[in-house]
Homo-oligomer: A and B are copies of this chain.
Amino acid sequence: MGTKTVIVGGDAAGMSAAAQIRRVAPSAEVVVFEKTNFASYASCGMPYYIAGDIASHEDLLALSAQEIADRGIDVRYGHAVEEIRPGARIIAGRTRSGQPFDEPYDHLVLATGGTAVRPAWWSELEGLFTLRSLEDGIALRTFIDEHRPRRAVVIGAGFIGLEMVESLARRGLEVTLVGRSPHLLGDFDRTFAAPVYDAMRHCGVALNLAQSVQGLAGDSGRITHVETDVERLQADMVLVATGLEPSAGLARAAGLAMGRSGAIAVDDQMQTSRTGIWAAGDCVEVKHVVSGQKVHKPLALTANRTGRIAGDQVGSAVVGRSSAQRFRGTAGSLITRVLDYGLAQTGLSLGEAKRAGFDAVSFERESRSRARYYPGSKPLKTRIVVERRTRRLLGAQMVGEEGVVGRIDALATALFARMTVDEVHHLDLAYAPPFGPVYDAIIDVCGKAALEI
């Protein structure tokens, strides 16, 4: 065809775009520039790789280098793109060994991802980590294997922080979790998620919540302490998991429009403000299905999906068709496992709903994962956020040892359908004693809301 697509970034979004282009336009030329030595890896699996549940980092590769080549995708590893020249349709950069390179393109997809936030107190010390790329994961596991650290401090109580607390505790480390918020995952407070807080303490994890880190201390270039506004914590290793910011510098420098979140602005087909340039994944902001606002929600499914949509656009352009694929919104749906518990959320928290301008109220209910009389039944807690006037469901959180995963998805489905709590309360859901009570947790909590709102 003589049409070349260049993709910057070879993880979920970039490789999804590449694969979709080749699916739609099998003869299209696709070149992916990836700054690390790995492409197409499952970054969400890294905590389990570090814990030792997954033997090798190669198990985390969705496609091996050979499989990528077999699909006709040309990945240039260790190639950091440093500049886009949209007028000339050229990108340029430098390899790890310092060799400059440049490449012309007809279509460009930016899948530059996100960067782990490095707070102001960051300093270059051995034993200090963030967890973003597979190389970060390998470095972390290698450090544990080689140095056998005894005390770890995890900074940040979001899902990466929580998964790493478990991972490190299971590697036998004494773990302290430091979080600025008094709650886990932003919205899982000590009352709602009491069993998770208890389980962490029973595992020997120290919970230093509602504390902020003031600085780090080291000795001979190696980390030794974390200073919070409350105490000084000994540490042989520290993981900073305080968030992810969009890697949008390249796009900004090229003059592409940015969103208010600081991520690249795109339409629902992942088109940037400049014709011929698409962007997808953790570097873009997308529409929230509940608030309608543009948000930066760097999550795996959205990265894969927006990559595929961008690829469908490009592939369709190459073959002269138009693509019907549109991004229909994120609900910020999330699940994470902490010790034996699943913690999940979808839509807006109460705080987010109020900040988005909703007159919102929340309802909580404890249910069971199996019928009351059925052996092994576990508590299952649900909180929902509801708009008072319209009775519309705006969001939900769940926590429990079993039965969380699909149920949060049913609530996510209700959000996309803009259902009221009355409608959810009257859903006909599947029941049998080994799987829940007759009035399922979801039905039950929405019934409470329908009655009390």
Within 8 A of B (CB), among A375-401: 375
Among A336, A426, A438: residue with most chain B CB under 10 A:
A438
In the complex, which residues of chain B have a beta carbon less than 8 angstroms from the beta carbon of A344?
A: 430
In the complex, which residues of chain B have a beta carbon less than 8 angstroms from the beta carbon of A404?
A: 406, 435
Looking at the complex, which one of B331, B423, B443 makes contact with A428 (CB distance below 8 Å)? B331
Known contacts A335-B435, A413-B417, A435-B335, A374 near B342 by CB under 8 Å: no
Known contacts A48-B374, A375-B54, A407-B406, A301 near B439 by CB under 8 Å: yes
State whether the Cβ of A332 lies closer than 8 Å to any Cβ in chain B.
yes
Known contacts A428-B332, A432-B336, A375 near B53 by CB under 8 Å: yes
CB <8 Å contact, B289 and A428? yes
Q: Tell me the smallest distance from the CB of A134 to a CB of chain B, in Å.
A: 13
CB <8 Å contact, A430 and B413? no
CB <8 Å contact, B44 and A428? no
In the complex, which residues of chain B have a beta carbon less than 8 angstroms from the beta carbon of A419?
A: 413, 416-417
**Binary flags per residue of A411-444, CB closer than 8 Å to B gives 1, else 0:** 0111011010001101111111111101110110
Q: Tell me the smallest distance from the CB of A279 to a CB of chain B, in Å.
A: 19
State whether the Cβ of A333 lies closer than 8 Å to any Cβ in chain B.
yes
**Chain B, residue nearest A426 (CB):** B328
CB <8 Å contact, B431 and A300? yes
CB <8 Å contact, B408 and A439? no
Known contacts A289-B428, A432-B337, A442 near B410 by CB under 8 Å: no
In the complex, which residues of chain B have a beta carbon less than 8 angstroms from the beta carbon of A249?
A: none
**Chain B, residue nearest A329 (CB):** B428
| Alpha-carbon separation in the docked complex, A426 to B371 (Å) | 32
Known contacts A300-B438, A410-B410, A427 near B431 by CB under 8 Å: no
CB <8 Å contact, A44 and B331? no
**Binary flags per residue of A348-380, CB closer than 8 Å to B gives 1, else 0:** 000000000000000000000001011100000
Looking at the complex, which one of B12, B337, B417, B440 makes contact with A435 (CB distance below 8 Å)? B337
CB <8 Å contact, B406 and A335? no
In the complex, which residues of chain B have a beta carbon less than 8 angstroms from the beta carbon of A417?
A: 413-414, 416-417, 419
Q: Tell me the smallest distance from the CB of A402 to a CB of chain B, in Å.
A: 9
Q: Tell me the smallest distance from the CB of A49 to a CB of chain B, in Å.
A: 9
State whether the Cβ of A213 lies closer than 8 Å to any Cβ in chain B.
no
State whether the Cβ of A304 lies closer than 8 Å to any Cβ in chain B.
yes
State whether the Cβ of A90 lies closer than 8 Å to any Cβ in chain B.
no
| Alpha-carbon separation in the docked complex, A342 to B406 (Å) | 13
| Alpha-carbon separation in the docked complex, A346 to B410 (Å) | 13
CB <8 Å contact, B416 and A423? yes
Among A300, A329, A406, A440: residue with most chain B CB under 10 A:
A406
State whether the Cβ of A254 lies closer than 8 Å to any Cβ in chain B.
no
Among A48, A300, A332, A431: residue with most chain B CB under 10 A:
A431
Q: Tell me the smallest distance from the CB of A380 to a CB of chain B, in Å.
A: 10
**Chain B, residue nearest A443 (CB):** B301
State whether the Cβ of A103 lies closer than 8 Å to any Cβ in chain B.
no
Looking at the complex, which one of B12, B45, B333 makes contact with A433 (CB distance below 8 Å)? B45
In the complex, which residues of chain B have a beta carbon less than 8 angstroms from the beta carbon of A375?
A: 53-54
* A interface list, Cβ under 8 A from B: 12, 42, 44-45, 48, 53-54, 59-60, 159, 163, 289, 299-302, 304-305, 326-337, 342, 344-346, 371, 373-375, 403-410, 412-414, 416-417, 419, 423-424, 426-436, 438-440, 442-443
Q: List 12 A-B contacts (CB under 8 A).
A: A42-B433, A44-B438, A45-B373, A60-B373, A301-B443, A329-B426, A337-B434, A403-B406, A406-B408, A412-B429, A416-B417, A417-B419
19 extra interface residue pairs, beta carbon distance < 8 Å, beyond A301-B443, A330-B428, A337-B432: A44-B432, A45-B373, A60-B373, A300-B431, A300-B438, A301-B431, A301-B440, A333-B428, A335-B431, A342-B434, A344-B430, A346-B428, A404-B435, A405-B436, A408-B429, A410-B410, A410-B413, A412-B427, A413-B414
- Can you list the 9 inter-chain pairs with the closest CB atoms, starting with the nearest? A406-B406, A417-B417, A335-B430, A406-B407, A409-B410, A413-B413, A328-B426, A331-B428, A405-B435
